Amino acid sequence: MTDYFEVHARDGAARVGELRLEEPRSTPALVDDVLEDAGSLWSADRAMPEGDDSRLTVLPHRGFPGGTAEEVRESFAVSYPDVDYPSVAVISSEGAADEGTDAYAVSDVQSITGHGAALVEAIVNVREAVPADTAVYFSGVATPRNVAVLAYAGVDLFDETAAVVKGTQGRYLTTDDAYFLEDLEELPCACPACRKPREEFTREDCVEHNRNALAAELGIVRRRIRDGRLRDYVEGQARQDQWLTAAMRELDSQWGYLEERTPVLRDAQIDAATGDTIRRVEIQRYADRVTTRYRNRFSNPLVLVPCSAAKPYSESQSHRQFHDAIQWRAHLVSMTSPIGVVPQELETTYPAQHYDTVVTGRWSEDEKRFVSTVLRRYLERNAYPEIIAHVPDEGYRDIVERVEAELDLGVTYTVEDHPTDTESLANLQRALSGELKYSKREREHNTVRAIADYLLGDGAGDDLFEDIQTTSRYPKIQVRDSEDTQLATMVPQYGTLSFTLEGAKRWVDGEAPTKRVEIDGFVPHGSVLAPGIVDADEEIRVGDEVVVEGPKAFGVGRAEMFGREMAESTRGVACEIRHVEEK
Amino acid sequence: MSHPTPDVYEQGKGMDAHNQVMREIRSRKEASYDPHEPTRVWLDEDNTPDGVKRSLTIILNTGGCRWARAGGCTMCGYVAESVDGGSVSHEALMDQIDVCLAHEAENGDEPADLIKIYTSGSFLDEREVGAESRKAIADTFADRERMVVESLPDFVDREKIADFIRHGVDTDVAIGLETATDRVRHDCVNKYFDFADFEDACAEAAAADAEAGGDADAGIKAYLLMKPPFLTESEAVADMIASVERCAGVEGCHTVSMNPCNVQRYTMVDDLYFEDGYRPPWLWSVAHVLRETVDVDAIVVSDPVGHGSDRGPHNCGECDDLVQKAIKDFDLRQDPSVFEQVSCECERTWEVVMERERSFNQPLTH
């Protein structure tokens, strides 16, 4: 239960929140100046502090540093009283529990920073134990170099302590290192503290610089979270220290933790610039859904083509040329690193048109392995009368040949030199001679069905949209039933569907699992706030289409929180209602 | 007076937990001890109420601390569990004394004026050292000026002290009080007597002193522990300043030895240290406490063990030897100006640690 912390924006496990003090503060943030410590019960009995809305009060506590045995933690555990001011409980990452406070300070923080696996184990333990709309506080560890990764892992509150301590030790902190001040011939910074001659720059100035550098980095972190681009930043920033890279990678292995917190769509682009991009939730989720939920409904041959830099692919020069050769006579699937394979129906679906990769023509073994695994799983699930690979040599052909051998397929290769040269295009055209075109109707029906599969689950497309008609132009396809009642609209920016009330009712009545938000007896308009929510499906992710239902209302909208967060939170917007009717 | 047996000490959840954990930690240790050899013996110099004296320090192997067998103190690694039955015979104890006398004869020019006997338990507990052995040892050192014997406060009584006093030897009982704060002694150290028991022991020593008239003096030397586990640097310093002041205020207690915690193997402190959850105190903290308590009515000394190492009290690595030297100098002269002679840039870091270390971010430095 929190009154004084609210999450406003989410980017994976990272959040921009608001510490709702007399003077509100955006998090991730430093809290030195608003923190009041009522003291440790190890050294003395403590009076319950007065507390007020101007500061965050750490309730009387016993901190258990790293290495404290479980028996000791249990028998010396403190129970925290309910207070009506902003409060912090001190918990060990090994015995974290919901204490009813607004924030949680992690007592074994010195033992878990500096070790990737330990940090991830700790933050996952803590986050899974405390309510989603409470802040996690790491005291005494934040530096300009590590704070982005700490925030990325899910830490909200920090302090200047480590930066100050290191400054007094003559360590000049930057986002890339902790330099020995005495080794610096010049100061690699232009903050106010550094605007003085090198020879006049003291350790006290170094303390000031460290503070400035930490505050500046936190500003970038907040910006990045709001933009949905923290991961792209962290893939670079984590390289500045081995343990930070380890932490990022360990976190990628915590699929349950990270997937639950990662939105299903974003405005932001994904920069595919490092080998770690392949392990992003967004990438893995797309590959997983395409190979377990999506199903090809065309009976035409398959043409595999390389991806293009322009998105969606169909609008690129190269794909227009492929299309001219194919003429709707084949099912088009693009191969790409790092997404894997993109069937033509899902070319607008996040993140298929939201990534930008570094193109050099050199494929790493990791990329090849990933794309070939996805292609193999795709072809195991989807049978074609014929497979044509219209792909160039570098990487692509390698991958197709691997899968061809693994699955014992016969693949026709049509590229001589380059996929868009005349000879290759002629080969492609020839390979499809005699094939029949599929209709616009078939194409559009299969597109919305494919998106329904992707969003709602295997078979959802057929279940929901068996008997439909489509109107309006691709990619803004409208889905209607046989009586012309609109059920859904395709959202071109994210390649998703937004349902009408009729569509939502069909979803509820159908076989596909419904993402349902149960609300109290009121009729929501605009936003549904967390306190109004009785329960929410655990499968709900930020950006998901959800059915909102209560004793008085039935509606449909888009999730702004993940399911468990909706159920646990006491503050914040849980979902945005698009359509609602009174019962 | 509280309860002298470990069995009765077993009270309270926190203690159960500490003891359970400490028993497990101690069980990892496999070592054996010869009951005919002392645990350790060495020659040194010590400040006493009669000035600086040459001293012979003996760590007697009496089968180890009874409390440690129940679990024991969180920082203490001095445990000899290998002596069967947990007791050492009179003959073996006297063999140990002979070894010590031989060491003294071999390494010192003349017999030491001051004899200090520790047992990692209680010299005055008759289950550890029987009355016969105690009297024989008192007789052995009858020609010395002063003796110090270690004991828990429960076992201090005027008759036992009289065994030494009657030879005209000034006698101090060293009590490992650790801190005057009962809460810290119980919850952080896991030592189960109260400050009131210490006061009672001081009263016994004062009574023995009065009964001896002018022939010999009897008194108490309090041993304090700076920075048991779970306390921050500033809490540890505040606890020591208060403890020194309270000890010095008790009649019968004439000396306070305030010693920084070091990380000994097979202890709870070692487990915390291994997981980056404990740092021994700064030597600046020791100097600070000595300076702050210079006006108390007692000799205040400190003997940092393992100074300058990661496992012992330390500063930045540059100034450890200098500060240690100042502390040792202070021990002998009780003059706080010795600390004005030492300074280092790391003093500023120590100040920040004092100001900013919390039980939810410690330790702030290595």
Q: What is the pLDDT of residues B269-328, one digit of tens each?
A: 999 999 999 999 999 999 999 999 999 999 999 999 999 999 999 999 999 999 999 999
Q: Same domain, yes or no, for A255 and A328?
A: no
pLDDT at B8: 39
Residue B229 located in a structural domain? yes
pLDDT at A318: 96
Q: What is the CATH number of the domain that holds A403?
A: 3.40.50.10630
Whether A105 sits inside 8 A of B360 (CB atoms) is yes
Q: Same domain, yes or no, for A451 and A536?
A: yes
Whether B359 sits inside 8 A of A90 (CB atoms) is yes
- CA B344 to chain A, closest CA, distance in angstroms equals 11
CB < 8 Å from A in window 304-323 of B: 316
Q: Same domain, yes or no, for A395 and A358?
A: yes
Q: What is the pLDDT of residues A327-341, one digit of tens each?
A: 999 999 999 999 999
Residue B366 located in a structural domain? no
Structure tokens at A570: 């006491």
pLDDT at A333: 98
Q: What is the pLDDT of residues A129-141, one digit of tens each?
A: 999 999 999 999 9
| Contacts with B351 from chain A: Cβ below 8 Å | 168
What range defines the domain where residue B340 resides? 6-356
Substitution target from B27, B187, B359 for chain A, most A beta carbons within 10 A: B359
Judge residue A1's burial from the number of C-beta atoms within 10 Å of its C-beta, 0-12 exposed, 13-18 middle, 19 or more buried: middle
| Contacts with A43 from chain B: Cβ below 8 Å | 181, 183-184, 231, 235, 238-239
Q: Same domain, yes or no, for A137 and A84?
A: yes
Whether B276 sits inside 8 A of A139 (CB atoms) is no
State the residue for tokens 């012992």.
Answer: B312
Of A76, A114, A141, the CB nearest to B187: A76
For residue B44, the one-letter residue type is: D
Structure tokens at B253: 């207690």
Q: How many domains does chain B have?
A: 1
Judge residue A248's burial from the number of C-beta atoms within 10 Å of its C-beta, 0-12 exposed, 13-18 middle, 19 or more buried: buried
What range defines the domain where residue A344 resides? 270-431
Q: Give yes or no for B273 touching A (CB within 8 A).
A: yes
Q: pLDDT-based confidence at B83, cuts 50/70/90? A: low
Q: What is the CATH number of the domain that holds A247?
A: 3.20.20.105
CA B26 distance to own-chain centroid: 20
Q: Does residue B116 contact residue B143 with C-beta atoms inside 8 Å?
A: no
Whether A67 sits inside 8 A of B346 (CB atoms) is no
Bridge partners of A517?
A: A536, A548
* Top-confidence residue, B85 or B164: B164
| Pairwise CA distance, residues A276 & A278, whole Å | 5
| Contacts with A114 from chain B: Cβ below 8 Å | 276
Q: Sign of dihedral through CA atoms B159, B160, B165, B171? A: negative
Q: Give yes or no for A58 touching B (CB within 8 A).
A: yes
Bridge partners of B322?
A: none
Q: What is the pLDDT of residues A31-71, one digit of tens each?
A: 999 999 999 999 999 999 999 999 999 999 999 999 999 99
Whether B271 sits inside 8 A of A61 (CB atoms) is no
Q: In 3-state terms, what secondary structure has residue A339?
A: coil
- Indicate the pairing of strand A340-343 with strand A331-336: antiparallel
pLDDT at B239: 98
pLDDT at A361: 81
Bridge partners of A135?
A: A103
| Pairwise CA distance, residues B229 & B181, whole Å | 14
Q: From A108, A493, A77, A70, select the one nearest A264 (Cα to Cα).
A: A493
* Top-confidence residue, B34 or A415: A415
Mean pLDDT computed over A153-177: 98
Q: In 3-state terms, what secondary structure has residue A507?
A: helix
Mean of pLDDT over chain A: 96
Residue A178 located in a structural domain? no
Instruction: Indicate if the pLDDT at residue B94 is higher than 60.
Output: yes
- The DSSP secondary-structure symbol of B211 reads H
- The DSSP secondary-structure symbol of B249 reads T
Substitution target from A62, A75, A121 for chain B, most B beta carbons within 10 A: A75
End position of a domain, from candidates A381, A398, A431: A431
| Contacts with A40 from chain B: Cβ below 8 Å | 230-232, 235, 358-359
A–B interface: beta-carbon pairs under 8 A: 140
Whether A42 sits inside 8 A of B273 (CB atoms) is no
Structure tokens at A461: 């497309």
Q: From B333, B324, B276, B318, select the one nearest B303 (Cα to Cα).
A: B324
Count how many residues are written for chain A. Answer: 583
DSSP string over B73-135: -TT-------SGGG---HHHHHHHHHHHHHHHHHH-SS--SEEEEE-SS-TT-TTTS-HHHHH
Q: What is the pLDDT of residues A108-124, one digit of tens each?
A: 999 999 999 999 999 99
Least confident range from A441-445, A536-540, B9-13, B326-330: namely: B9-13
| Contacts with B183 from chain A: Cβ below 8 Å | 43-45
Q: What is the CATH number of the domain that holds B79?
A: 3.20.20.70
Q: Give yes or no for B358 touching A (CB within 8 A).
A: yes
pLDDT at A41: 97
Bridge partners of A549?
A: A518, A554
Residue A206 located in a structural domain? no
Q: Does residue B252 contact residue B202 with C-beta atoms inside 8 Å?
A: yes
pLDDT at B87: 76
Count how many residues are written for chain B. Answer: 366
| Contacts with B17 from chain A: Cβ below 8 Å | 69, 71-72, 74-76
Whether A63 sits inside 8 A of B316 (CB atoms) is no
Residue A201 located in a structural domain? no
Q: Same domain, yes or no, for A502 and A426?
A: no
pLDDT at B222: 98
State the residue for tokens 């040949």.
Answer: A401
Q: Same domain, yes or no, for A230 and A335?
A: no
Q: pLDDT-based confidence at B79, cuts 50/70/90? A: low
Bridge partners of A541?
A: none
| Pairwise CA distance, residues B97 & B94, whole Å | 5
Q: Same domain, yes or no, for A415 and A522?
A: no
Q: From B324, B242, B252, select the one nearest B281 (Cα to Cα).
A: B324
Q: Give yes or no for B365 touching A (CB within 8 A).
A: yes
Least confident range from A358-372, B1-15, B210-224, B331-345: namely: B1-15
Residue A99 located in a structural domain? yes
Of B229, B348, B359, the CB nearest to A107: B359
Helix spans in chain B (H): 6-9, 13-27, 66-70, 90-107, 131-140, 158-165, 182-184, 195-211, 233-248, 268-274, 283-292, 320-333, 346-356
pLDDT at B91: 94
Residue A196 located in a structural domain? no
Instruction: Indicate if the pLDDT at residue B4 is higher than 50.
Output: no
Whether B275 sits inside 8 A of A66 (CB atoms) is yes
For residue A54, the one-letter residue type is: S
pLDDT at B72: 87
Percent of chain A residues past pLDDT 90, beyond the cut: 97
Instruction: Indicate if the pLDDT at residue A350 is higher than 80.
Output: yes
CB < 8 Å from A in window 166-185 of B: 181, 183-184
Residue A67 located in a structural domain? yes
Q: What is the pLDDT of residues B205-256, one digit of tens each?
A: 999 999 988 889 999 999 999 999 999 999 999 999 999 999 999 999 999 9
Cα three-residue angle B172-B178-B179, rounded to 5 degrees: 115
Instruction: Indicate if the pLDDT at residue B7 is higher than 80.
Output: no
How far CA A280 is from CA of A248, A338, A370, A386, in Å, comes to: 10, 10, 12, 33
Instruction: Indicate if the pLDDT at residue A519 is higher than 50.
Output: yes
Residue B51 located in a structural domain? yes
Of A67, A139, A169, the CB nearest to B277: A67
Model pTM score: 0.94
- Indicate the pairing of strand A14-19 with strand A25-27: antiparallel
Instruction: Indicate if the pLDDT at residue A418 is higher than 80.
Output: yes
Sheet holding A56-58, edge to edge: A29-30, A157-158, A135-137, A103-106, A87-91, A56-58, A35-37
Percent of chain B residues past pLDDT 90, beyond the cut: 77
CA B171 distance to own-chain centroid: 16
Whether B273 sits inside 8 A of A67 (CB atoms) is yes
Whether B17 sits inside 8 A of A71 (CB atoms) is yes
Q: Give yes or no for A37 touching B (CB within 8 A).
A: yes
| Contacts with B73 from chain A: Cβ below 8 Å | none
Contacts with B300 (C-beta within 8 Å, 6 or more apart), sequence order: B244, B248, B255, B256, B257, B258, B290, B293, B294, B334
Q: What is the pLDDT of residues A557-567, one digit of tens each?
A: 999 999 999 99
Instruction: Indicate if the pLDDT at residue B88 is higher than 90.
Output: no
End position of a domain, from candidates A259, A279, A296: A259
Instruction: Indicate if the pLDDT at residue A348 is higher than 70.
Output: yes
Q: Does residue A341 contact residue A290 with C-beta atoms inside 8 Å?
A: yes
Q: Does residue B24 contact residue B83 with C-beta atoms inside 8 Å?
A: no
* Top-confidence residue, B11 or B193: B193
CB atoms closer than 10 angstroms to residue B157: 18
Q: Same domain, yes or no, for A86 and A220?
A: yes
Q: Give yes or no for A109 touching B (CB within 8 A).
A: yes
Whether A44 sits inside 8 A of B365 (CB atoms) is no
| Contacts with B232 from chain A: Cβ below 8 Å | 40
Q: Give yes or no for B28 touching A (CB within 8 A).
A: no
Q: Same domain, yes or no, for A340 and A251?
A: no
Q: Same domain, yes or no, for A335 and A357?
A: yes
Q: What is the pLDDT of residues A479-512, one digit of tens each?
A: 999 999 999 999 999 999 999 999 999 999 999 9
Mean pLDDT computed over A455-461: 96
Instruction: Indicate if the pLDDT at residue A525 is higher than 50.
Output: yes
Whether B365 sits inside 8 A of A203 (CB atoms) is no
Which residue of A lies nearest to B317 if distances are taken between CA atoms? A169
Least confident range from A201-205, A292-296, A466-470, B24-28: namely: B24-28
Residue B186 located in a structural domain? yes
| Contacts with B348 from chain A: Cβ below 8 Å | 168, 203
Q: Same domain, yes or no, for A566 and A449?
A: yes
Judge residue A215's burial from the number of C-beta atoms within 10 Å of its C-beta, 0-12 exposed, 13-18 middle, 19 or more buried: middle
Q: Does residue B322 contact residue B37 with C-beta atoms inside 8 Å?
A: no
Q: Same domain, yes or no, for A255 and A275?
A: no
Q: How many domains does chain A have?
A: 3
Residue A235 located in a structural domain? yes
Q: What is the interface pTM, i.e. ipTM, of the complex? A: 0.92
Structure tokens at B115: 């004899």
Q: pLDDT-based confidence at B39, cuts 50/70/90? A: confident
Which residue of A lies nearest to B278 if distances are taken between CA atoms? A65
Substitution target from B319, B349, B361, B366 for chain A, most A beta carbons within 10 A: B361
Mean pLDDT computed over A177-198: 97
Of B14, B346, B361, the CB nearest to A140: B361
- CA A43 to chain B, closest CA, distance in angstroms equals 6
pLDDT at B86: 62
Percent of chain B residues past pLDDT 70, beyond the cut: 94
Q: In 3-state terms, what secondary structure has residue B281?
A: coil
